[in-house]
Amino acid sequence: MRSFVDIPAGSDFPLENLPYGVFIPAGSHRPRPGTAIGDWVVDLGALEEAGLLPTQVFGGPTLNAFMAAGRPVWTRVRGHLQTLLAADNTSLRDDESLRSRAFHHRSHVRLVLPVDIGDYTDFYSSREHATNVGSMFRDPDNALLPNWLHLPVGYHGRASSVVVSGTEVRRPMGQTQNGDAPPTFGPSRLLDFELELGFFTGPGNALGEPIPVEQAADHIFGFVLVNDWSARDIQKWEYVPLGPFLAKNFATSISPWIVTMDALEPFRCAGPVQDPEPLPYLRSQGPQAFDIHLEVGIQPEGAGEDDVVCRSNFRYMYWNVCQQLAHHTVTGCNVRPGDLMASGTISGPDKGSYGSMLELTWRGQHPLRLSDGSERKFLADGDTVVMRGRAEKDGLRIGFGEVSGRILPAR
């Protein structure tokens, strides 16, 4: 596909992608929904006001109204945008006045949280990650808990502390405990990242009416990169009996651009074999995984660039997104437009693909050496963690951009 917009080679945002986000133009305070193509952000509200889009959903400061409209509208808008931005279409290409209002260079905008997130759920769906954690803290020969191969384990996170890429993250304070000593209060010493991918829900379901697994894809608007920051020492002390709480609620970072299911369709692939076979309500048909390359870099304070410490892939996930959504709603739990569901840490079969410092250093026993000569067992103040994602096949590249966050000292 060719566009009249100049798209640099290797861009994450070709005409085949068109992810959705929200931006604030230079000199303005008003958030506006947009899409990314090459190095440009296109104001969807301006196109809608000009009558070039068949919707009335882009006038607000978030994407929630568009998400609520459902898959037929999402597909129709995507098709209209690809037509409008095509090289041989003159309606937008030759309208200099509209282009001057609608097109903003990415260097002249501020990207903000694209969604009003009502609820946030984090799953635990990588078998490799669950096995690694179980081996460290329980029994290497019986690492998975009895329920893990039968259902997508998850917990309800804190929506209010989900932040957009570039937001600084302050090291949390909390209780920790070592051995038989009484607990102490202070800064977390074992701050970690977790490499994840998340999806936003669309129309959702009524209370009491589950979403069947075969219909789940129609409720998935698109995907973002997720860094589920974790304070491992706080987590260890508070985890029993109810699971993650303060170790997770201080920040969750997401990338600003939401990549659609339609854009990722060429990269659909088979996931891991599920044995034992899931119960009927979790049996999804056909390939439901996606071949998305993911990587994590750590940039120490003052360093010119980050060191890549992890390379993984979304195709490793044992429980796919349709199964996650079907399980989440099987009780009749209602999800709403803009709810965020994260995958849980994405780890692969070898050490270089482990999606957390906990695994990469094996509880700090094998520190990572960075290119500036420093070592890391866990994250240090001043470190910037950068996560990137892309899907590539036959010359087509669909990218996510990145999600980054710099760690500030505890107060």
What stretches of 70-222 show up as alpha helix (H) in DSSP?
71-84, 90-93, 96-102, 127-137
DSSP state for residue 181 in the 8-state scheme:
S
Residue 34 phi/psi, 5° resolution? -150, 175
Residue type for 194, please? Answer: E
Count of helices and strands (H, E) across the chain: 10, 26
| Other residues' Cβ atoms within 10 Å of the Cβ of residue 199 | 23
Helix (H) or strand (E) holding 233, with range, is helix 232-238
Q: Which of 129, 219, 327, 328 is catalytic?
A: 129
Contact 11, 28 (CB under 8 A): no
Burial track 64-100 (b if 16+ CB lie within 10 A, e otherwise) = bbbbbbebebbeebbeebbebbbeeeeebbeeeebbe
Catalytic residue check, 129: yes
CB-based contact 400:392 (threshold 8 Å):
no
Cis peptide before 276 (omega within 30 of 0): yes
Q: 295 and 312 in contact (C-beta within 8 Å)?
A: yes
Alpha carbons 341 and 330: distance in angstroms, whole number: 15
Active-site amino acid positions: 129
